[in-house]
Amino acid sequence: MSADAMNMPNSPETVTLGWLQAIFKDSTISSFEITNSRLFETTSKLYVTLSYGENAEASANKPKYILLKGGFNPAMFAVPGYKPILLRAYTREVDMFTKFVPTLPKDTVLQVPKVYWAGANSDQAILAMEDLSSAGFVFGDPTRTYSLAAVSSGIEQLAALHAQTWGWSTAEGDNESSSTLPSASALAWLEPNIYDVTMRGLLGMWDELILGAERPQLPGILKDSRERTSLALETYFASRNPRFRCLVHGDPHSGNTYLKGVDSDKEEVRFLDWQIVHIGTAFHDLAYFMVSMLTVEERRTHEQAILDQYLAALARHGGPQLSRDDPEIMTEYRKAMMTGLGWVLTPHSMQAKERVAAMVERYAAAIVDHKTIELLTTEGSTENGRQEELHWQNLEDGVVA
């Protein structure tokens, strides 16, 4: 990778023609225009139109509309404590597209955005990728909810990812007995677990994000005791069942989707923003995605059928045969509702207030419905085998206990 390419811009004003020519290895790019920018989101985005001079035939198969994604808002990096969190996430996505995506089989059903160039250094990480909006896609919106067809489509994508990477581990020795699993050293780019690190960092801002002014209303089980919520989160981290270990997107809420066929019975969902990809439990992605996509009542009505669909898709894409009759699956699924704490702890400087409020309503309800905090903070919860069975029966019968 050339020195010119790695001399990366950190604001819209510092994007240059020479840098674009370097990353595309194409001196025929004659000019560019930044047609739009979104600087006040977790990741900055610059929408760029490339021009190739007078030879239209030579430029016919070259990208015209691209998206530059990275840290282009110096003010965001300047917020105390944010830069290491953000840069870690940006770099993880670069690693995803340079170290994992090229290994996917050609016949995979997993669809990801096309990335033309990706690079990272100690101060910046950037993707130069296709402009999905110009390609006819619509981005998911956390303030709205989606159809069961959209949920079904997204579940197929997640199941394909999980099946492809089932059993992956970054712990030395875990994969040594298998000829099909990558070694821990090959997966070193997935350490540390960026999701855990990010969540602990955000939890440290409890007073601002839980008790602060203009923050969403929360049930007492989440906000009344910092110690209890912290214990639940740490217990979730420590108790993720290795039976269900795989590569997970980590942040597959509705706002990190792009769709075709919106508002039709054939909505197709794909995922972007792979910044918190990590080795985790498959049910992390399932719970996090499904809760974000549906109204609270729709989730309560359909989640059992959706869980069954996911398990069937996992097996169909080459993963293990699993059943909802397995009590470990039920426990892991209930624990995975803890992923919703991520939106509870999302600062308004990273996501708009109305987005945070809409998502928190859905995730908080799921945490309460599944008694996730109680499950993770009550010693000897296995004593409640019969209670858990009754809890699930109540949910199937439409009773929220």
pLDDT at residue 138 in the model: 93
81 versus 265: the higher-pLDDT residue is: 81
CA distances from 229 to 81, 177, 281, 286, 364 (A): 22, 38, 20, 22, 12
Say if residue 192 is preceded by a cis peptide, omega within 30 of 0: yes
Computed from CA positions of residues 22, 28, 33, 38, in that sequence, does the dihedral angle turn out positive or negative? negative
Instruction: Identify the weakest region by mean pLDDT among 13-27, 74-88, 294-308.
Output: 74-88
How confident is the model over 39-61, as a mean pLDDT? 83
pLDDT at residue 151 in the model: 97
134 versus 173: the higher-pLDDT residue is: 134
How confident is the model over 279-289, as a mean pLDDT? 98
pLDDT at residue 327 in the model: 94
How confident is the model over 328-356, as a mean pLDDT? 94
233-269 pLDDT, tens digit each: 999 999 999 999 999 999 999 999 999 876 667 789 9
pLDDT at residue 61 in the model: 85
Q: How confident is the model at residue 388 (pLDDT cuts 50, 70, 90)?
A: very low
76 versus 21: the higher-pLDDT residue is: 21
Average pLDDT over the chain, rounded to an integer: 90
pLDDT at residue 262 in the model: 67
pLDDT at residue 56 in the model: 59
How confident is the model over 312-330, as a mean pLDDT? 96
How confident is the model over 43-50, as a mean pLDDT? 95
How confident is the model over 13-27, as a mean pLDDT? 96
How confident is the model over 81-110, as a mean pLDDT? 92
> Alpha-carbon distance 7 to 122, whole Å?
11
334-345 pLDDT, tens digit each: 999 999 999 999
Domains of the chain, CATH where assigned: 3-130 (3.30.200.20), 138-396 (3.90.1200.10)
331 pLDDT exceeds 60? yes
> Alpha-carbon distance 349 to 347, whole Å?
5
Q: How confident is the model at residue 379 (pLDDT cuts 50, 70, 90)?
A: low
Computed from CA positions of residues 193, 197, 202, 206, in that sequence, does the dihedral angle turn out positive or negative? positive
84 versus 71: the higher-pLDDT residue is: 71
State the SS3 of 135-193.
Answer: CCCEECCCCCCCCHHHHHHHHHHHHHHHHHCCCCCCCCCCCCCCCCCCCCHHHHHHCCC
pLDDT at residue 396 in the model: 54
Tokens of 117: 């160039």
390 versus 31: the higher-pLDDT residue is: 31
Q: Answer whether 375's CB lies under 8 Å from 335's CB.
A: yes
pLDDT at residue 27 in the model: 92
392 pLDDT exceeds 50? no
Q: Answer whether 12's CB lies under 8 Å from 34's CB.
A: yes
135-184 pLDDT, tens digit each: 889 999 999 999 999 999 999 999 999 999 999 999 877 766 666 889 88
pLDDT at residue 393 in the model: 52
377 versus 397: the higher-pLDDT residue is: 377
Please state the φ and ψ torsions of residue 336, each to the nearest 5 degrees. -65, -15
Q: How confident is the model at residue 26 (pLDDT cuts 50, 70, 90)?
A: very high
> Alpha-carbon distance 359 to 145, whole Å?
10
Share of the chain above pLDDT 90, in %: 76
Q: Answer whether 195's CB lies under 8 Å from 341's CB.
A: no
